[in-house]
């Protein structure tokens, strides 16, 4: 197997005095699609931010291509690593196309302008999230789901090998949830990208991801291939609520039990 | 298929060109209007080297310096407004409304009272502005949620605090010590002598902005997104604080507390489709300068007997725009 893109060595993450995870060792390779699962406040976002290098691990070390993350300049890193934040707003207005083109900045040299190629890439990214028709709309007129798709288009236009996404399907309808997750998984498999996403919907994780990190409330973690991790016992403990695994024609489905 | 859907690209460069023409017209108006109107023949004579005719003397000694300081002050304030709006990610941020000019004024007044040499006054203005911006940024961000309401409240309170201190200083200070009260509270170009140095500094800051314009576009997305798109966020934010303070401090040194330019100009330009800071920043300088020169010309010639401080005009135009903007802003966040 090729060298990992991101490696975590005994990482500990804390918020105030709460330990979110400790002694976490992970190797994330290109071609993999990871889900980070956990209940509210379990540390999914914090872990993603640490992987993106915008937050230092409280102990341990995270390497990108065998070099500590924090030693890379933001500019270099931005050509290889993109992060979709949990919420995104556009307080100063502007048009959809202008925002997607921001995703091209990491690839532009100083004092140069976006070329036809950049515009083409941005249009492609908009097409993937079904927003091409809205390229000239002002962002303030977009609905919540459309804003989320715009934010996703922006990081797709960034064309990085690593995609970190914090709840990418927030506000999305069923069709767009599946369309976008399908596209993300396809780009992991076909273009050897690494996709890591925090998800709340276990079923979506089960269907689209091949690996998972489970972050438990007590600060312990489990990681590995998703098939072996997502069983009723682990998930019931993860969410503090009993769940069951059902076999359906659409594949395995995880449902909460009726009465706890 | 993609090509058929390719939307027409807007033409910000053309908008910029139109703005330059309008600004030149404003400059012409500013030079011509006043108690002694200057006509075309006077300009011709002046350009041919005449410096004896009264019109030429007025142009040379009064109008040109005043238009120069009006233009630079307007440019400084509009640019400061744009930078603060990116820094605070809020279209309502503005040096006057948030008390940044107020802080600069107070420090200058204190230094003047203490009899400190005039050489150090710009430094005082600068530190007053820095202290105010840092205060507003920290207090408004503070712990917890970061809302336009909180930012404005912090800024407005700070501004009225500085206003009170200015009034206090002016009432206890010996009259001859300081220039008029209105100057520090409303802003006036009457005492300004016009300085090419300020113009040069403005041009320098604009160049710096050109270098960082793409970073500013990214910073408008929020610091998290900006960082993952390649911006050294902390450094850029501190530089923005420094630049916005410098611009505000220079404007205050030239013309006291002129309000709302940093609000009206960027807002109107964004409505014209200039969202991209690579266009917005130079457009703000040009339009801010032109607007203030025009406003000053109006202030000088509105009444034949008195010349109004230009801050009155900018406030009269700015307050309604501010209120509309505030209303629309809260509608979006709701």
**Domain coverage including residue B202:** 10-41+69-333
Please check whether residue A1 touches B, CB under 8 A: no
B103-160 pLDDT per residue, tens: 999 999 899 888 888 888 888 999 999 999 988 888 877 655 456 678 888 888 999 9
Give a yes or no: residue B46 inside a domain.
Answer: no
Contact B232 A74 (CB under 8 A): yes
Please report residues of A whose CB lies closer than 8 A to that of B224.
Answer: 49, 54, 83, 85
Q: What is the CATH number of the domain that holds B102?
A: 1.10.3470.10
Please report residues of B whose CB lies closer than 8 A to that of A105.
Answer: 214, 217-218, 229-230
Q: A-B interface: how many C-beta pairs under 8 angstroms?
A: 87
A232-251 pLDDT per residue, tens: 999 999 999 999 888 888 77
Cα gap A111→B136, rounded to integer Å: 33
Cα gap A260→A257, rounded to integer Å: 7
Mind telling me how many Å the CA of A32 is from chain B's nearest CA? 21
Answer whether residue A173 shows pLDDT above 70: yes
| Top-confidence residue, A42 or B10 | A42
Do the beta carbons of residue A36 and residue A212 sit within 8 Å?
yes
Cα gap A214→A225, rounded to integer Å: 11
Give a yes or no: residue B76 inside a domain.
Answer: yes
Q: How many CB atoms lie within 10 A of CB B276?
A: 21
**pLDDT interval class at B3 (50, 70, 90):** very low
Q: Would you give the DSSP letter of residue B197?
A: H
3 state SS of A90:
coil
Please check whether residue A82 touches B, CB under 8 A: yes
**pLDDT interval class at B49 (50, 70, 90):** confident
Give a yes or no: residue B252 inside a domain.
Answer: yes
Give a yes or no: residue B136 inside a domain.
Answer: yes
Beta-carbon contacts of residue B198 (< 8 Å; ≥ 6 apart): B69, B72, B76, B250, B254
- pTM (two decimals): 0.90
Burial of B107 (0-12, 13-18, 19+ CB in 10 A): buried
Contact B2 A102 (CB under 8 A): no
Residue A62, H or E segment? strand A59-64
**Number of domains chain B is built from:** 1
**pLDDT interval class at A174 (50, 70, 90):** very high
Please report residues of A whose CB lies closer than 8 A to that of B214.
Answer: 105, 108
Do the beta carbons of residue A223 and residue A238 sit within 8 Å?
no
3 state SS of A23:
strand
Do the beta carbons of residue B317 and residue B267 sit within 8 Å?
no
Answer whether residue A121 shows pLDDT above 60: yes
Give a yes or no: residue B26 inside a domain.
Answer: yes
Average pLDDT over residues A5-34: 94
Helices (DSSP H) in B173-276: which residue ranges? Answer: 181-185, 196-219, 223-228, 233-255, 261-271
**pLDDT interval class at B7 (50, 70, 90):** very low
Rg of chain B in Å (alpha carbons): 20
Please report residues of A whose CB lies closer than 8 A to that of B272.
Answer: none
A181-209 pLDDT per residue, tens: 999 999 999 999 999 999 999 999 999 99
Q: Would you give the DSSP letter of residue A89?
A: -
B184-214 pLDDT per residue, tens: 778 888 878 778 999 999 999 999 999 999 9
Give a yes or no: residue B155 inside a domain.
Answer: yes
Please check whether residue A117 touches B, CB under 8 A: no
Do the beta carbons of residue B228 and residue A79 sit within 8 Å?
no
Range in A23-27, A67-71, B326-330 the model is least confident about: B326-330
Mean pLDDT of chain A: 93
Find, in chain A, the residue whose alpha carbon is nearest to that of B217: A102
Contact B211 A110 (CB under 8 A): yes
| Top-confidence residue, A103 or B273 | A103
Nearest to A127 among B2, B85, B86 (CB): B2
Please check whether residue A116 touches B, CB under 8 A: no
Cα gap B74→B187, rounded to integer Å: 12
Angle at A86 between CA B280 and CA A67, to 5 degrees: 90
ipTM over 0.85: yes
pLDDT at position B148 = 66
């Amino acid at each position: 197997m090729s060298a990992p893109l991101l490696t975590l060595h005994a990482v500990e993450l804390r918020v105030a005095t709460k330990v979110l995870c400790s002694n976490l060792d992970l190797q994330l390779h290109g071609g993999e699609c990871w889900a980070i699962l956990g209940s509210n406040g379990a540390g999914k976002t914090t872990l993603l931010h640490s992987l993106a290098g915008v937050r230092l691990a409280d102990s341990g070390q995270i390497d990108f291509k065998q070099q500590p993350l924090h030693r890379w300049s933001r500019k270099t890193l931005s050509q290889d690593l993109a992060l979709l934040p949990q919420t995104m707003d556009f307080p100063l207005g502007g048009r959809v196309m202008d925002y997607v083109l921001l995703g091209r900045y990491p690839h532009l040299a100083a004092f140069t302008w976006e070329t036809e190629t950049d515009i083409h890439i941005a249009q492609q990214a908009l097409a993937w999230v079904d927003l091409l028709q809205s390229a000239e709309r002002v962002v303030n007129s977009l609905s919540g789901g459309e804003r989320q798709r715009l934010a996703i288009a922006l990081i797709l236009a960034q064309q990085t090998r690593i995609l970190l996404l914090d709840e990418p399907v927030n506000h999305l309808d069923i069709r767009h949830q599946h369309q976008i997750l399908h596209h993300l998984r396809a780009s992991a498999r076909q273009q050897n990208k690494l996709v890591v996403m925090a998800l709340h919907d276990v079923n979506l994780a089960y269907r689209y991801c091949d690996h998972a990190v489970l972050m438990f409330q007590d600060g312990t973690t489990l990681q590995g291939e998703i098939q072996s991790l997502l069983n009723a016992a682990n998930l019931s403990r993860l969410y503090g609520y009993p769940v069951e695994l059902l076999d359906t024609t659409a594949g395995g489905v995880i449902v909460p039990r009726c009465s706890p | 298929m993609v090509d058929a859907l390719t939307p027409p690209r807007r033409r910000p460069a053309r908008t910029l060109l139109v703005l330059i023409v309008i600004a030149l017209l404003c400059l012409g108006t500013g030079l011509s209007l006043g108690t002694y109107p200057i006509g075309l023949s006077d300009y011709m004579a002046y350009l041919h080297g005449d410096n004896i005719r009264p019109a030429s003397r007025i142009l040379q000694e009064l109008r040109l310096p005043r238009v120069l300081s009006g233009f630079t002050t307007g440019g400084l304030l509009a640019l400061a407004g744009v930078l603060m709006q990116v820094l605070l990610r809020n279209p309502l941020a503005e040096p006057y409304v948030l008390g940044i000019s107020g802080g600069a004024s107070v420090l200058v007044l204190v230094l003047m009272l203490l009899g400190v040499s005039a050489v150090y006054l710009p430094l005082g203005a600068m530190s007053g502005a820095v202290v105010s911006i840092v205060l507003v940024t920290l207090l408004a961000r503070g712990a917890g949620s970061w809302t336009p309401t909180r930012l404005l409240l912090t800024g407005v309170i700070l501004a009225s605090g500085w206003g009170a201190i200015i009034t206090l200083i002016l009432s206890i200070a010996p009259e001859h010590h300081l220039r008029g009260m209105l100057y520090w509270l409303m802003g006036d170009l009457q005492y300004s002598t016009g300085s090419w140095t300020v113009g040069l500094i403005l041009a320098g800051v604009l160049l710096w902005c050109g270098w960082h314009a793409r970073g500013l576009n990214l910073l408008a997305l929020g610091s998290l997104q900006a960082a993952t798109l390649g911006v050294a966020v902390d450094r850029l934010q501190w530089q923005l604080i420094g630049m916005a303070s410098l611009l505000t401090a220079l404007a205050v040194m030239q013309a006291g507390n002129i309000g709302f330019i940093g609000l009206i100009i960027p807002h109107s330009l964004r409505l014209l489709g200039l969202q991209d800071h690579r266009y917005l920043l130079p457009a703000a300088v040009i339009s801010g300068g032109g607007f203030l020169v025009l406003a000053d010309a109006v202030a000088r010639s509105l009444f034949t007997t008195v010349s109004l401080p230009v801050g009155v005009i900018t406030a009269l135009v700015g307050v309604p725009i501010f209120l509309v903007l505030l209303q629309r802003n809260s509608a979006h966040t709701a």
